Amino acid sequence: MIPAILLFAATYVLMLVFDKYRPYIALTSGLIFVFTGMLPADQILGAIDFNVILMIAGTMGLVALFTESKMPMLLADLIMERVPNVKWAAVALALFSGVISAFVDNVATVLMIAPVGLAICKKLKVNPVPFIIAIAVSSNLQGAATLIGDTTAIMLGSALDMSFLDFFWYHGKPSIFFAVELGALISAAILLFIFQKDTETIEKETKRTKVTDMMPTILLILALALLIIASFIPKKPNETNGIICCVLLVVGLVYSFAKKKTWSAITEPMKEIDFTTIGILVGLFLMIGGISANGVIDAAGALLAKAGGGNLFVLYTVIVWASVLISAFIDNIPYVATMLPVIGSLSNTLGIDPTPLYFGLLSGATLGGNCTPIGASANITGIGILRKEGYEVKNSDFFRIGIPFTLAAIIPAYIYVWLVYGI
């Protein structure tokens, strides 16, 4: 266990210090886990979340077609017509991202909304880095709002046999949806403060951009609809979302080729798939699989459960804030998967209502990823998009938005859940 912990910790330190080399560091560490046997051979494929990989690849290709159609430019025009300055444009885009993310995977949301943010920044000639970071952290926040917003929400719903409506009203009380939205309102105020100096007036354009082809937009909307529908299908394959995105990309490429009659119609969108981001994620998946196989996550879960003793409020507090801290550095899916049965067993032993512990786990684990640039797949994806545009994101750039945003979102949710379900 100790070698796995040391390698894992060293990798994250190196990734934070040498941000330009993250893909190489992550993949090298992942391969070390594999070749040293810390990640057993029969667990390698299971450690990699192919659903996320396929979804990123498929959606990036669709977004390339979407961008080529000039639809993001039109959406940018429409947003800029309705906001007075750059500050409100950034906040409006972040809120829009949050709304979409309540129903669609966070990574897919970032891939869909980021091109609109880039288009707005190009028109206004402003730095897109804070815009895209705001989009990413907002998408992470809303993942806990509904049953279909994030994988961790689906896992909690399955553990508690919750329906879609239970996320709005549970056991006769307003549910976790309202905790998330309370955090969203306060975090929006934080974004307004962060962007307070960006008061440049947006000049209203007399002409709106003309969209050259509606098919990519139709395909993206279809992807959105199918992802929502798929979330209600029980016992579906784990790669369902990724397959949906990739199949629609193939449809888009075939359509583009038939229209243009040139191979560039296929090769150019494929070039937009960010294999650097995919490389980072593959490395992280292997690393997390390695520490999980060595019992690190199980040990962390057991330690958390014991830390609170028999006091429900102490247990709740420990679970929320430890989840925030742990999820800032490791993927929240294996952590939540480990902690759900731990909380169930603990509540049975102590004879307590587990609801605040479950909701605290979901909110803390979901929001903790916003603390660091490598704490959530959506963050890695957003940074990858910026890198392809020629912008390097410093750790300080991310911390300036991610940390205050996280605190503004988690503190009200922490208080709300306890007041509604803990007392």
Spacing of C-alpha 197 from chain mean position: 27
Which three-class secondary structure state does DSSP give residue 208? coil
- CA–CA gap between residue 158 and residue 179 (Å, rounded): 20
At residue 357, the pLDDT reads: 92
DSSP H or E run through 269? helix 264-271
DSSP H or E run through 248? helix 240-260
At residue 304, the pLDDT reads: 64
Query: What is the gyration radius of the CA atoms in the chain, in angstroms?
Result: 21
- pLDDT grade, residue 375 (50/70/90)? confident
Q: What's the DSSP call for residue 419? A: I
Q: Is the pLDDT of residue 32 over 90?
A: yes
Burial class (CB in 10 A: 0-12, 13-18, 19+), 232: exposed
Tokens 């209600």 correspond to: 232
Tokens 């307003």 correspond to: 174
> Phi and psi dihedrals of 130, rounded to 5?
-65, -30
Which three-class secondary structure state does DSSP give residue 170? strand
Token pair listed for 18: 């040498």
At residue 331, the pLDDT reads: 67
Q: Do 418 and 313 meet the contact criterion of CB atoms below 8 Å apart?
A: yes
Residue-wise pLDDT tens digits, 57-69: 887 788 788 878 8
Q: What's the DSSP call for residue 376? A: S
Tokens 């017509």 correspond to: 81
Which residue would you say has higher pLDDT here, 28 or 284?
Answer: 28
Token pair listed for 278: 């995919």
Q: Do 321 and 275 meet the contact criterion of CB atoms below 8 Å apart?
A: no
Q: What's the DSSP call for residue 187? A: H
Residue-wise pLDDT tens digits, 224-255: 788 778 877 777 887 888 898 899 999 999 99
Closest by CA to 363, choosing from 237, 205, 159, 182, is 182
Q: Do 104 and 227 meet the contact criterion of CB atoms below 8 Å apart?
A: yes
pLDDT cut 90: percent of the chain above it:
23
Closest by CA to 273, choosing from 31, 41, 47, 58, is 58
Token pair listed for 368: 């903790």
Give the number of other CB atoms < 10 A from CB of residue 316.
23
Q: Do 195 and 91 meet the contact criterion of CB atoms below 8 Å apart?
A: yes
Closest by CA to 119, choosing from 205, 218, 221, 220, is 205
Q: Is the pLDDT of residue 205 over 70?
A: no
> Phi and psi dihedrals of 174, rounded to 5?
-60, 135
At residue 316, the pLDDT reads: 92
- pLDDT grade, residue 288 (50/70/90)? confident
Token pair listed for 350: 């102590």
Dihedral sign computed on CA atoms, order 292, 310, 321, 158: positive
At residue 309, the pLDDT reads: 67
Q: Is the pLDDT of residue 405 over 70?
A: yes
- Mean pLDDT comparison of 26-30, 82-86, 202-206, 219-223, highest-scoring range: 26-30
Q: What's the DSSP call for residue 85? A: B
Tell me the one-letter amino acid at 87: K
Q: Is the pLDDT of residue 356 over 90?
A: yes
Q: Is the pLDDT of residue 207 over 70?
A: yes
> Phi and psi dihedrals of 158, rounded to 5?
-70, -40
In total, the chain counts a number of residues equal to: 423
pLDDT cut 70: percent of the chain above it:
95
Rounded to a whole number of angstroms, the distance between the first and last alpha carbons of the chain is 39
C-alpha distances (whole Å) from 364 to each of 67, 368, 413 are 35, 6, 9
- CA–CA gap between residue 209 and residue 220 (Å, rounded): 19
- CA–CA gap between residue 15 and residue 25 (Å, rounded): 7
Burial class (CB in 10 A: 0-12, 13-18, 19+), 111: buried
Average pLDDT score, the chain = 84
Strands (E), 90-177: 169-170, 173-174
Q: Is the pLDDT of residue 48 over 90?
A: no
